[in-house]
């Protein structure tokens, strides 16, 4: 095996700016960089030149097709491959071609993607448009090499049918509003503020042969039955443990694949649960980070298959052990290098930081419901609000030092007053370093300040990170906008800033919580504070169409009211469909696999009982077991019938929202009732007779 040269392979499958510079005429390249930096559109002439250069590069590297790569509301990516093939000339010679028009715009049939009612009111046709800020790349799969062009996906009347369009809009909004803030503080040379995101991705690996024996994993991505293994995560020996050889080989391959497409895979380690792992890239511009996270998830699945494993991205593949999430690290930085979440070294920077912090407190408190919604998906319902981290209540963790600063700012009256403890004397000395301290970081907080960024920890492992970042950008943009509106007109700027910081921090200090977010006391305390505790995805969906939400998103042109309504509708649809598949899978497994196995086992027991009796020995134990098995079997059968019944009822419902709630309130409990006796039976029935691999095998045979 040759030596791996990371520098050489990094980005080899990306049509980087560097490659464009090499291959494009100077003026075309200049136009491209201008559009990347300032927005706008490429002229058709330049688009043609770029398309040709891109195609030449792709073909030289073995590509046969191109694809507009987009992110419909399914949460995953979509692609339709078109070969570069054209009609041959009369001699039969064919020349591969790719035009500027094909680069810039595509027309996939929108009618088969979820539109949440947008389709009813508007045309079914949709189009994809090149997101020039995210570079094109070559995807290597069994189909050969495909040139993928990251695109936004909209209806012909301009409604966003995807997750990327609103994200791009939100990035513009926060840039514009954050600029107003930094300009007020004298940074007038800044012309753009960029939201940066680093997403830490958790996942499980499982042996492919075991996976294939479980219909639940195949159809739903999680186990629907399964008694706990004798060993779970209680020994705490997996987190940061030595990586097993097979997993190591997977990680090695995965890194290589990711580096090739320009993803800065950086950190890898074992997670809390057995067979659970994490990968984190270095943070990047928000839209690129979103694209990259999609690629990370896709690549994980593909590489796992090569290693005769499967990668489970579901938020809760196994009951009773840690689930998977995605920490969304977020910060905002000016184009002249100032991170607005960095406390800085000078008093001026400190005050700007405190204002930004105050605005974020206001944003998160005002829109806690929306932020929680942005991290919801069906799988994540098993984590948020369930007995496992993080809680469904949004709160902010600041760390001891910074919380103390906020407390003092709130308590001191006048804007010119002194912050006690020698930490901050407004306008004179500076804030202490809030370097994150690994020892006292609060792992239970859903939204934690970690030195120079916020870490949003609610996001589910399988979900796109587009929505969380769209919402974050939007709510912070709104707070910045309101602050700037007041400060720009202030007679005494310094005084006004201090008043504003104090006002926002006082009004919104209830959102700060530094304690144990998993405790029962916090749930009560949060209720007292009036913080929302939204338990499920479908309960969260309604937050999208409150007056408050519509006003926010409309104001900054991020979502129209129709776009919001469509997203709410899709949530109900997706929820009902997902639970429906899970319920049907359970019925199938119970009826076709578990019940027959249990019957076989009882038959064996009954025969033993008879044989024992014939031999003149009273089979007391066998009879007791047989009874228990029979009772549980009856319980199972009854529960299965009940589940079939409510499934039928759900199928007859026509109102999408009502149906979704019926699934949550009636079908899900019926599924739990079926699982309980089945799991109890698994503990009794002969292991060789149990129809599929157990938790112990699934988690420890990797
Ligand atoms: P951990 O949270 O495990 O301690 P780190 O804090 O080092 O790990 O980084 C986690 C993720 O946060 C990485 O993807 C990293 O690139 C990203 N990150 C670091 N600094 C920033 C920042 N200023 N803005 C956004 N993301 C960042
Ligand atoms: Mg982290």
Using one digit for the tens of pLDDT, what is the confidence trace for 76-133? 888 888 899 989 999 899 988 999 999 998 887 777 777 777 655 445 678 899 999 9
Percent of the chain with pLDDT over 70: 94
Contacts of 503 by beta carbon, 8 Å cutoff, 6+ apart: none
pLDDT of residue 403: 85
The CA-based angle 592-596-599, given to 5 degrees, is: 160
- Residue 8, exposed/middle/buried by CB under 10 A (0-12, 13-18, 19+)? exposed
Query: Rounded mean pLDDT of 153-170?
Result: 91
Of 267-276, 544-553, 606-615, give the lowest mean pLDDT range: 267-276
User: pLDDT by residue (tens digit) across 262-281?
Assistant: 999 999 988 888 899 999 99
Distance separating alpha carbons of residues 550 and 562, to the nearest angstrom: 10
pLDDT of residue 230: 80
Phi, psi of 383 (to 5 degrees): -105, -60
Q: How far is the CA of 269 from the centre of ligand 1 (A)?
A: 15
Helix (H) or strand (E) segment spanning residue 550 = helix 547-555
Residues β-bridged to residue 699:
none
**Is it the case that residue 414 has pLDDT exceeding 50?**
no
**Structural domain spans, the chain:** 6-162, 163-197+328-421+434-559, 201-325, 574-700
Local confidence band at 174 (pLDDT 50, 70, 90 cut-offs): very high
Closest CA to ligand 1's atom 6: 450
Percent of the chain with pLDDT over 90: 75
Atom of ligand 1 nearest to the CA of 331: 24
Distance separating alpha carbons of residues 234 and 242, to the nearest angstrom: 17
pLDDT of residue 212: 97
Of 241-245, 416-420, 637-641, give the lowest mean pLDDT range: 416-420
Distance of CA 600 to the CA centre of its chain: 44
Distance of CA 469 to the CA centre of its chain: 10
Query: Rounded mean pLDDT of 562-570?
Result: 94
- 574-700 has the same fold as 201-325: no
Helix (H) or strand (E) segment spanning residue 20 = helix 17-23
Distance separating alpha carbons of residues 295 and 293, to the nearest angstrom: 5
For the chain, the distance separating the N- and C-terminal CA atoms, rounded to the nearest angstrom, is: 25
User: pLDDT by residue (tens digit) across 493-523?
Assistant: 988 998 899 999 999 999 999 888 888 899 9
Whether the CB of 282 sits within 6 Å of ligand 1: yes
C-alpha dist (Å) from residue 651 to 579, 583, 644, 659: 12, 12, 11, 8
The number of residues in the chain equals 702
pLDDT of residue 239: 73
Distance of CA 58 to the CA centre of its chain: 30
**Strand duo 193-207 + 276-281: pairing:** antiparallel
Local confidence band at 664 (pLDDT 50, 70, 90 cut-offs): very high
pLDDT of residue 124: 63
Quote the mean pLDDT of the chain. 91
Local confidence band at 2 (pLDDT 50, 70, 90 cut-offs): low
For domain 201-325, give its CATH number from 3.30.590.10, 3.30.230.70, 3.40.1280.10, 1.10.560.10.
Answer: 3.30.590.10
Closest CA to ligand 1's atom 11: 198
Of residues 418 and 449, the one with the higher pLDDT is 449
Whether the CB of 280 sits within 6 Å of ligand 1: yes
Please say whether the dihedral angle defined by the alpha carbons of residues 587, 588, 589 and 593, taken in this order, is positive or negative: positive
Tell me which ligand sits closest to the C-alpha of residue 283.
1
User: pLDDT by residue (tens digit) across 354-397?
Assistant: 999 999 999 999 999 999 999 999 999 999 877 665 679 999 99
User: pLDDT by residue (tens digit) across 289-322?
Assistant: 999 999 999 999 999 999 999 999 999 999 998 9
Closest CA to ligand 1's atom 3: 200
- CB contact burial 215-248 (16+ within 10 A = b; e otherwise): bbbeebbbbbbbbbbeebbeeeebeeeeeeeebe
Q: How far is the CA of 358 from the centre of ligand 1 (A)?
A: 22
Distance separating alpha carbons of residues 441 and 436, to the nearest angstrom: 7
DSSP H helices, 275-416, are 286-306, 347-366, 368-374, 400-411
The CA-based angle 20-21-25, given to 5 degrees, is: 95
Q: Which fold has domain 6-162?
A: Ubiquitin-like (UB roll) (3.10.20)
For domain 574-700, give its CATH number from 2.40.50.100, 1.20.1530.20, 1.20.120.1560, 1.10.10.10.
Answer: 1.20.120.1560
C-alpha dist (Å) from residue 441 to 234, 249, 455, 520, 522: 21, 32, 11, 20, 18
Region of residue 420 (phi > 0: left; psi between -120 and 50: alpha; otherwise: beta) = beta
Q: How far is the CA of 365 from the centre of ligand 2 (A)?
A: 22
Whether the CB of 469 sits within 6 Å of ligand 1: no
């Amino acid at each position: 095996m040759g030596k791996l040269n990371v520098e050489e392979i990094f980005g080899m499958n990306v049509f980087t700016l560097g490659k464009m510079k090499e291959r494009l005429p100077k003026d075309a390249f200049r136009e491209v960089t201008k559009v990347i930096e300032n927005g706008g559109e490429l002229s058709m002439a330049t688009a043609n030149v770029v398309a040709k250069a891109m195609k030449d590069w792709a073909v030289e590297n073995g590509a046969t097709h191109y694809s507009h790569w987009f992110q419909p509301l399914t949460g995953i990516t979509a692609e339709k491959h078109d070969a570069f093939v054209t009609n041959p000339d009369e001699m039969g010679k064919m020349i591969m071609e790719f035009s500027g028009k094909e680069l810039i715009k595509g027309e996939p049939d929108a009618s088969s993607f979820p539109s949440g009612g947008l389709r009813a009111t508007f045309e079914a046709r949709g189009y994809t448009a090149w997101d020039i800020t995210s570079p094109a790349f070559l995807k290597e799969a069994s189909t050969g090499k495909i040139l993928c062009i990251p695109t936004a996906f909209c209806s012909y009347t301009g409604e966003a049918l995807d997750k990327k369009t609103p994200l791009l809009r939100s990035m513009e909004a926060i840039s514009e509003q954050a600029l107003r803030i930094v300009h007020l503080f004298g940074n007038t040379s800044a012309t753009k503020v960029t939201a940066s995101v680093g997403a830490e991705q958790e996942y499980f690996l499982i042996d492919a042969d075991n996976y294939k024996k479980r219909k639940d994993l195949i159809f739903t991505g999680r186990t629907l039955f399964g008694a706990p293994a004798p060993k779970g995560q209680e020994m705490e020996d997996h987190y940061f443990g030595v990586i097993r050889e097979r997993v190591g080989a997977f990680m090695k391959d995965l890194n290589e694949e990711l580096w090739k497409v320009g993803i800065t895979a950086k950190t890898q380690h074992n997670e809390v649960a057995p067979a659970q792992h994490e990968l984190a890239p270095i943070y990047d511009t928000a839209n690129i980070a979103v694209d990259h996270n999609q690629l990370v998830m896709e690549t994980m699945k593909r590489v796992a298959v090569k290693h005769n494993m499967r990668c489970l991205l579901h938020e809760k593949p196994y009951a009773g052990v840690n689930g998977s999430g995605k920490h969304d690290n977020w910060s905002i930085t000016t184009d002249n290098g100032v991170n607005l979440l960095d406390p800085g070294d000078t008093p001026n920077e400190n005050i700007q930081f405190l204002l930004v912090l105050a605005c974020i407190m206001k944003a998160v408190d005002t829109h806690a419901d929306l932020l929680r919604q942005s991290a919801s998906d069906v799988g994540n319902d098993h984590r948020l609000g369930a007995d496992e981290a993080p809680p469904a209540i949004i709160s902010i963790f600041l760390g001891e030092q910074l919380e103390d600063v906020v407390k003092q700012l709130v308590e001191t009256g006048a804007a010119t007053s002194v912050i006690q403890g020698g930490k901050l004397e407004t306008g004179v000395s500076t804030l202490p370093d809030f370097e994150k301290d690994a020892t006292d970081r609060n792992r239970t907080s859903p939204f934690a300040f970690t030195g120079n960024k916020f870490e949003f920890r609610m996001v589910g492992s399988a979900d796109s990170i587009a929505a969380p970042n769209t919402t974050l950008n939007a709510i912070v943009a709104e707070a910045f906008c309101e602050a700037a509106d007041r400060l720009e007109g202030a007679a005494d700027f310094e005084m006004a800033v201090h008043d504003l910081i104090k006002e926002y921090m006082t009004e919104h200090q209830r959102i700060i919580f530094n304690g144990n977010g998993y405790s029962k006391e916090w749930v009560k305390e949060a209720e007292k504070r009036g913080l929302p505790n939204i338990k499920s995805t479908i309960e969260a969906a309604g937050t999208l169409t409150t007056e408050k939400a519509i006003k926010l998103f409309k104001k900054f042109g991020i979502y129209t009211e129709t776009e919001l309504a469509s997203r709410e509708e899709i949530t109900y649809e997706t929820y009902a469909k997902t639970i429906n598949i899970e319920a049907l899978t359970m019925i199938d497994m119970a009826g076709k696999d578990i019940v027959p196995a249990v019957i076989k086992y009882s038959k064996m027991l009954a025969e033993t009982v008879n044989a024992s009796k014939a031999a003149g020995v009273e089979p007391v134990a066998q009879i007791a077991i047989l009874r228990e098995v029979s009772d549980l079997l009856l319980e199972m059968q009854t529960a299965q019938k009940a589940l079939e019944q409510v499934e039928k009822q759900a199928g007859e419902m026509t109102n999408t929202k009502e149906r979704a709630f019926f699934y949550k309130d009636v079908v899900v409990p019926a599924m739990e009732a079926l699982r309980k006796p089945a799991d109890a039976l698994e503990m009794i029935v002969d292991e060789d007779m149990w129809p599929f691999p157990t938790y112990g095998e699934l988690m420890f045979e990797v």
